[in-house]
Chain A
Amino acid sequence: MEDLSAAEQREPGEADTRGKAHTRGGAETGRESGTDREADARGEADTGREPDTRGGDGTADAVIATRGLTKRYRGGQLAVDGLELTVPAGSVFGFLGPNGSGKTTTIRMLMGLIEPTSGTARVLGRPMPRSSRVVLPHVGALIEGPALYGFLSGRDNLLRYDAADPTADPRTRRTRVSAALDRVGLTAAAGKKARAYSLGMKQRLGLAAALLQPRRLLVLDEPTNGLDPQGMREIRLLIRELASDGTTVFLSSHLLDEIEQVCSHAAVMAQGRLITQGAVRDLAAGARGRLVVTTPDSADAARVLKEQGVADLVITETGVTGEPPDRELADVNAALVAAGVRVRGFGVERASLEDAFVALTGEGFDVAG
């Protein structure tokens, strides 16, 4: 995954923040490469003086790296099958897959909640679940929805979760809890019993729990589930903000446009197997975009476009679409205008991640057993 570095990260509209994060990431990689090699030499021993940022096969700078990660549940269900996942530092990583494809199972293994049947997982350069105690204070997680103590207020819920972390300073606990509540917009409802929270409020409180401390990595399993449009927007903003601070965000979701909007990288799972992973732009580019011409003179337009080498022409209500040709598009447009076609709109519609996703995982609606 070396090739997924700075240059390819840049997404239109987000080039600023993401680019910044990556320049810094790159600098750090250079600085630490010496110690990395030492750590490698020690292999799995993990005696733990120096951080080990290599996954063991040259995946430097990977925040999450799994090798042949496999989980077979006790019932015999193969939920995750030989997963080779690499999440670069500083990325916003979208983890996609249909229902039951093994996303939550993977996240549970990464968080040390369940033991892999085989294979290894490294988080922040350390093996999980063995190094849970060292790694997890740097990780904020939302796993399969929030879970709260209904008989405690929102604030008391956070105080309890914070108390569970032995590395959390009790002197700053109240301040940090208030800051986290503020960050997810729950300050006004902080005194209310969590049992009386709405789904979206619970989700926000769950997120607040993940933000109690500055984190190196955020693992969010469907974070916008149950949120109102403003809430979703805020979460997206929050994710961007965190990412620009250098936090790596690992995000599972079904909402593809959401992934497309916030993620720099993505991986797609289906039936426990990893189908693809890489920069979002590359994934979407896999499914080709289409040339869209909006015009009332569709018949003429189609004729001209055919002459210009545009294949797979389809005449629609508002104009013509086709596969974009290899030649300069401005020339194609000029040819249309020269032929007297009244062009109201001309452009290439980028293939959405949804197209790519469906192309990869199939159209079928039924959940695989």
Chain B
Amino acid sequence: MSRAEESGTSAATAGPADPPAPAPLAGSAKPPAPAPPAGPAKSAAPATRLPSAGISPSTGAGSHPLWTFGLFRSELVTTFRRWRTIALLAVLAAVPILVGIAVKIETSGGSPADGGGGGGGPAFIAQITNNGLFLVFTSLAATLPFFLPMAIGVIAGDAIAGEANAGTLRYLLVAPAGRTRLLLTKYATTLAFCLVATLVVAASALAVGALLFPLGDLTTISGTRISFGEGLLRALLIALVVAASLIGVAALGLFISTLTNSGIAAMATTVGLLITVQILDQIPQLHAVQPYFFSHYWLSFADLMREPVYWDDLRRNLGLQALYAAVFGSAAWARFTAKDITA
């Protein structure tokens, strides 16, 4: 499959690529009233079944532009019905429960909690006992460095390689899903998973926080007070920023997924890279390159809890994620559209 072919047809998935039946014509050519043939070949009109070699206009695939999203829906349903996806989400939902219970036990034992917040959210963890909403911030801070990106790495790494491994990739491609369309669908689904995973952590934390601790007005990092309602709004905003922080990992994982036919290898590589980058980000000698690590500005989401909000690092984070998405997204596309599918 040449890149030229894909680039030519990717822009409009249903329209200009189907020359025998221009899109608008195809739409109107299909009368909505009578149910189209039920049996695949049996009931088709003989006129369209002539054994001619070419694709004649009468049998030209009439397709509706919206039908192209059927694959995305199917992909979402397939992904979220998998036992593995459910397990990943369950692990993520368990983190706030564990943190909440740990804080509860520690504070009821009398010793003040300090510094044990896993991912570096000590500023928040001390406040949990005063306000359950802080469990949301603490949990996101605790899961962002590892649990969340690891889950994304699994989903993104398996996206193409897993289908190749199972052999289902060749059937999707002869369906024909279209390589660009399939890749975009996979990326969109991975991003949807980023959002869902983050929201699961946030929702679980909110529930546990409300259950174990009091709720109410809260104090920002800058010392000002905001109402509980605004606090909730900020929590949602933070969840969205955390989800957006995973865009880079998702693109990286998808790229790695196009390199191999083994889902396990792709997942392991992605997660391995994730850990390596996190470690390198701690080494002072690498100061010059660290701003380009996808995880470098991750904890900037805490800046949303300042008054006024400190946007610089947040902006840098989102810019960096967009850069990763562009670079590794293009690499994945270049690789996948030129790849021989032999699995």
Chain A residues within CB distance 8 Å of chain B: 21-22, 24-25, 27-29, 32, 36, 39, 47-53, 60-63, 73-74, 89-90, 108, 111-115, 124-126, 129-139, 141, 143-145, 147-152, 159-172, 175-176, 179-180, 183, 206, 209, 211-216, 241-242, 245-248
Contact = CB atoms under 8 A, between A and B. Distances in A.
B52 A134 contact: no
* Minimum-distance CB pairs A-B, first 10: A51-B54, A147-B167, A90-B51, A48-B19, A167-B61, A164-B175, A125-B54, A136-B176, A163-B74, A53-B54
A169 B177 CA distance: 14
Contacts of A211: 40-41
Given A52-B54, A136-B175, A114 B37 contact: no
Interface string B1-28: 1101100010001100111100000000
Contact of B73 (A48, A163, A175): A163
A73 B342 CA distance: 10
Contact of B48 (A47, A89, A131, A214): A214
Contacts of B172: 161, 164
B2 A115 contact: yes
Contacts of B182: 164
A27 B46 CA distance: 14
Quick one: which of B14, B41, B82, B167 has the most chain A CB within 10 A?
A: B41
A147 B173 CA distance: 12
Contacts of A150: 166
A171 B68 CA distance: 13
Nearest to B49: A246
B40 A212 contact: yes
B50 A24 contact: yes
B51 A24 contact: yes
A60 B35 CA distance: 35
B132 interface: no
Nearest to B63: A167
Nearest to B172: A164
A179 B20 contact: no
17 contacts: A28-B51, A48-B19, A48-B20, A52-B54, A53-B52, A60-B53, A90-B51, A111-B170, A112-B173, A113-B174, A115-B338, A134-B18, A141-B171, A145-B167, A149-B78, A166-B14, A169-B67
Interface residues of B, number: 65
B1 A112 contact: yes
A180 B40 contact: yes
B341 interface: yes
B334 to A, nearest CB: 14
A248 B168 contact: no
Contact of B70 (A39, A60, A168): A168
Interface of B: 1-2, 4-5, 9, 13-14, 17-20, 30, 35-42, 44, 46, 48-57, 59, 61-64, 67-68, 70-71, 73-74, 78, 81-83, 166-168, 170-178, 181-182, 338, 340-342
A206 to B, nearest CB: 8
A111 B182 CA distance: 16
B174 A111 contact: yes
A177 to B, nearest CB: 10
Quick one: which of B40, B53, B54, B57 has the most chain A CB within 10 A?
A: B53
A133 B38 contact: no
Contact of B35 (A133, A172, A247): A172
B44 A245 contact: yes
Contacts of B81: 151-152
B55 A51 contact: yes
Contacts of A111: 170, 173-174
Contacts of A27: 50
A124 B67 CA distance: 24
Contacts of A159: 74
A361 B87 CA distance: 53
Contacts of A176: 38, 40
Contacts of A126: 54-55
B38 A28 contact: no
A50 B58 CA distance: 11
B1 A115 contact: yes
Nearest to A104: B342
Given A136-B174, A161-B172, A166-B181, A28 B67 contact: no
Nearest to A141: B174
Given A133-B176, A141-B174, A213 B38 contact: no
A148 B170 CA distance: 11
Given A113-B340, A134-B61, 16 more contacts: A24-B50, A50-B54, A51-B54, A52-B54, A133-B176, A144-B170, A147-B168, A164-B70, A164-B182, A166-B67, A168-B67, A168-B70, A170-B70, A172-B35, A179-B39, A241-B41
